[in-house]
Amino acid sequence: MENENKNSILIVDDEVLNLKMLRSVLHDEYTVYTAKDGQSAIEIATANKPDLILLDIIMPEMDGYEVLAILKSNVITRHIPIIFITGLDSKTEEEKGLSMDAADYISKPFSPGIVNLRVRNQIQLVNQIRTIEQLSNLDQLTQIPNRRSLDQQLFSEWGRSMREKIPLSLLMIDVDKFKKYNDTYGHLQGDKVLKMVAKTVVTTLHRAGDFAARFGGEEFCVLLPGSDIEGAVLVAEQIRAAIQSMVIHCEDGSGSKITVSIGAHSLVPAGLADTIPDLIDKADSALYAAKEAGRNCVRKYTA
């Protein structure tokens, strides 16, 4: 079984000897896929999303330029860097490939050292970009997804709910009387509370598709794809009870308690009548109703 922590590479060449040679150079350090023609390459790239593609230019039926154009037009594969591998010795061909957004060239006959270096350079860049993207989607205090990440997930799940006609539920969670808690125990203790709430929310969720994020301040959101309002309220009650049962230790050895109020809304998106902001607003209205009802409770949206 391949190491899941390895970066992955797709090698595309119609010559079996070239495939074997490149695979032998790279397989110890990377997960390697191979394809002998353009159509297979497109299918493997779409299914597996490799971190890098080594693509031969001269192939029968569909050459490397055609494959590159198709990969770059596909939203799933357009950001995968592609290194051309070629026996052509032409500046014009090199310029053409680079103008089509190829990342680099490797010339035949292969030098294992050059192959390793050029591949390593591209993989390092891929990993750096991935790290930056992950950090930009992470709330630095609580280490769970932030509002930007929530917006992206909402957009994705909204589209899926519309296509499959399945419900999408949203929980809005607010720490009760958080300002008073901060004033009483200090901001460092308040930060500790937010971290504990975030961890508790995440660990209370059990389905792979459920998604928790910090909305801002002392507010958190939970996205529950495929869950109707009854299921959403059940999850909300589990979160509320788990947080109520927490004991938050203070520096003086004493313990403090906090509670949360939660608003829930669920819908099956249907055309222009429903919008993502409307889902958020209605979950927020339900949260306000929970606050009005005395806090430490769950309320679902009612028109």
Per-residue model confidence as pLDDT tens for the chain (303 residues): 445 679 999 999 999 999 999 999 999 999 999 999 999 999 999 999 999 999 998 888 899 999 999 999 998 899 999 999 887 665 666 667 677 788 888 888 888 999 999 999 999 999 998 888 878 899 999 999 999 999 999 999 999 999 999 999 999 999 999 999 999 999 999 999 999 999 999 999 999 899 999 999 999 999 999 999 999 999 999 999 999 999 998 887 788 999 999 999 999 998 777 899 999 999 999 999 999 999 999 999 998
Q: Which of 95, 133, 218, 292 is catalytic?
A: 218
Domain 8-135, CATH class in plain words: alpha beta
Q: Is 218 a catalytic residue?
A: yes
CA atoms of 58 and 84, how far apart (whole Å): 10
Boundaries of every domain in the chain: 8-135, 147-300
Nearest to 166 by CA among 101, 109, 220, 231: 231
DSSP for 219-245 reads: EEEEEEET--HHHHHHHHHHHHHHHHT
Give the domain 147-300 fold.
Alpha-Beta Plaits (3.30.70)
Non-local (6+) Cβ contacts of 93 within 8 A are 57, 86
